[in-house]
Amino acid sequence: MRKKVICLLCLFFLIHMFMPFQVFAEDRGKVILIFMDRVSWHDIEKADTPAIDALVEIGSIGLMTTNTGGALSQINAYTTLGAGAKAVGASGSEMAFPYGKRFEGGNTEEIYKQRTGYTMEPDSIANLSIVQIHRNNSKHKYTISIGALGTALREAGLKVAVIGNCDTPKLGESGYNIKRYLVSMMMDDQGIVPMGVVDESILTHDSSAPQGIKTNYKIMEEVFDELWQRADVIAVQLGDTSRVEDSKNYVADNLLEPYRERAIEDGDAMISKLMEYFRKDKDLIMLLTPVGPSRELSRNNRLTPIIIAGRGFEKGYLSSGSTHRVGVVTNLDVGATILNFVGASNMSGQGGAPAFSIAQQGGVEGLIKLNERLVEIFNQRGFLLRGYVYILIAILILSLGQLILNRRYLCISRILLIFSMLIPLVFLLLPLFHQSSVYMNSFIVLVIASVFTALVCWFFPHIRDRITVISCATVIALVLDQWSGMNLIQWSPLGYDVIAAARFYGIGNEYMGVLIGAACTGGAGIIQKIRSYRFFRPDFIVFAGWAIVLFTLGAPHLGVNVGGTIAAFFAFSISVLLLIGYKVKFRDLAVIAVVLMILLAGVFMLDSIQMIDSQTHMGQTVALIKQNGIKELLNIFDRKISMNIRLFRYTIWTRVFLISLASMVILFYRPIGIFKDALSEHPIMFKGFIGAAVGSIAALVANDSGIVAAATCMIFIVAPLILLIMEKVEQKIAKGELSY
């Protein structure tokens, strides 16, 4: 009896010792990643895909950015997905081989150890170019952890497996062109994936395929079934759609799309098999395209399909803390989503934010329309902005020439300057008149700006009033749009560009400069206008307005622009000090900087303690600094300076900035004495100009594309300044004190 009791007690303790682990392992769920390369949502919609349709019905769909640290290639795209940062691969980084495979006169494990010093384990797969990949990414201005996803999963005790390849036959000889991109994503920092099948055994000959081979889905299913028992994260590369794309140069155009459609449908049949293993309430399944087809890339569509279903995801559209845009995530979010699902922590330098679901009824059709609209913006943005810049430069040069050389037709330049100040406001309103044609949009901009110019000139005869009204209208429109959901700026050509993936929400640098310049000039105009009545001092109302603008730029939930917050704080602080009659000294700038640093530190910390889904790049920056120390902050400064130097050399906004500076210098001396007369007549306006100029310089220094913000800020300094000087010149001409 005593022995039985002891045995029962031992059994009891053993059960309780192992049960937590068993429950945890069962409840944690598994991750299935499916890669269907070189397709678009349009291709998927056109094909017969019942399995993908079923995923759409139970999961969230979206558009994924595909930007990398270099050219948009599958080599760079998969390396970027694995690093969680914009990275590049290396020549040969698609060359991955399993343990025991013969390669270049030796076994994989021998060559791998020769190159890395590490030892391969049996069953594992090695990327033999891992050393070169690390080397190629070591010179970036930001931390890149190659193989971060695989490393994080390894350190969390999770097993990773890969199945499939994109190999193609060598033309005119035996063997294959090795294209095992998936290993570059799922490998750890040593270039190793613990298990899987990526060699030619997963292929089969098929004379009806464009290159005579295709994925052997029967073998793939058998391999998956075996790995399902051993691995926690399984990545499957369907392969055939990539091979179709690779054959585009020697397959007839009328055959390419039918080949692609068949490859999608064959892949869909495999997805149907994989879904038999998928448990919606426990597992995560993700279907994505790292690089779109060349047909789409040729028209600048770099957004690709992504579907995520399983625990935590419902039917709808995807979004993430990186984009805050319904239906859009970044390729950096993929790794963050996987790690968040399995409860693992991101590695140092691994960016992105976990994707999440947003209930939306548009379906695939709505996503395709969104994609088309984003491509339109990308393609039209350059034409519209270059056109505006060239017109603005021409107007500034013409106005200066008339002031100095021939003053007979100053009225023409006056109208053109007002017209140029109205364009940013018109660009913001342009989405209300959406047209798919860039020429039609250009025509609409010209018409609306001309009508607004006529209305302003008709209702406001005085130059100062015109400047104030345009500036205030621009500020009010921008602030209201930010507070009402950014419905205009996200579609404006002067807003931000999702495809370029530079910014997705908030106020971008173009409109940030506009907002600061217009706020300083418009606020000063209001103060000077109402002060002239001598019965009311509106200063505190304007100061309150500036505080609202500052909050709009700095609030995390409105898409904080850190550089814009810095620039606005300096601009408004200097303006306030000047307007209350304080003589600003260098030490005052130091005090302003210290106060600003304290405020920003508070905002950064507040953002960092939010839920990760709600965090902006500020909270993510705090996490990076905690992980890597102060060097991460130095890397950010270094990157911003390098970007500024590069943009200063190449962007068209540099011309606006330099011509604006030159104009201010010229106006200070010519026509002789006019600057001083204009200053004495509009002293408060000039204080606003000084504040805006300080903001322009601060924007130049504090932003990674600061030259853009500095230039757009200058629009609301130089154009008003020329207008006020023109007014003074005309007064002197009327009095006979100055000739034409």
DSSP state at residue 344: P
What's the pLDDT score for residue 39?
A: 97
Which burial class, exposed, middle or buried, applies to 586 when counting CB atoms under 10 A from its CB (0-12, 13-18, 19+)? exposed
Out of 424-428, 452-456, 697-701, least confident range: 697-701
Dump pLDDT digits (tens) for 228-276.
999 999 999 999 999 999 999 889 989 999 999 999 999 999 999 999 9
Query: For residue 671, is the peptide bond before it cis, meaning its omega torsion is within 30 degrees of 0?
Result: yes
Residues 6+ apart with CB under 8 A from 70: 76, 88
Reduce the DSSP state of residue 740 to 3 states and report it. coil
Residue 682 has pLDDT above 90, yes or no: no
- For residue 552, what are its two tokens? 């709009």
Q: Please give the Cα distance from 611 to 608 (Å, whole number).
A: 8
Q: Please give the Cα distance from 186 to 180 (Å, whole number).
A: 11
> pTM of the prediction?
0.87
What's the pLDDT score for residue 616?
A: 52
Out of 75-79, 154-158, 178-182, 704-708, least confident range: 704-708
What's the pLDDT score for residue 652?
A: 86
Confidence grade of residue 680 (pLDDT, cut at 50, 70, 90): confident
What's the pLDDT score for residue 42?
A: 96
What's the pLDDT score for residue 562?
A: 79
Residue 554's closest CA among 618, 625, 627? 618
The pLDDT of 387-416, averaged and rounded, is 89
Tell me the average pLDDT of the chain: 87
Reduce the DSSP state of residue 555 to 3 states and report it. coil
What's the pLDDT score for residue 7?
A: 47
Residue 59's closest CA among 237, 315, 312? 315
Confidence grade of residue 496 (pLDDT, cut at 50, 70, 90): confident
Residue 207 has pLDDT above 50, yes or no: yes
Dump pLDDT digits (tens) for 436-454.
899 999 999 999 999 999 9
Dump pLDDT digits (tens) for 116-167.
999 999 999 999 999 999 999 987 767 789 999 999 999 999 999 999 999 9
Dump pLDDT digits (tens) for 39-70.
999 999 999 999 999 999 999 999 999 999 99
Percent of the chain with pLDDT over 70: 87
Residue 83's closest CA among 150, 161, 145, 141? 145
Residues 408, 436: contact at Cβ < 8 Å? no
The pLDDT of 588-612, averaged and rounded, is 66
User: What strands, in cross-sheet order, belong to the sheet with 192-193?
Assistant: 96-98, 125-127, 192-193
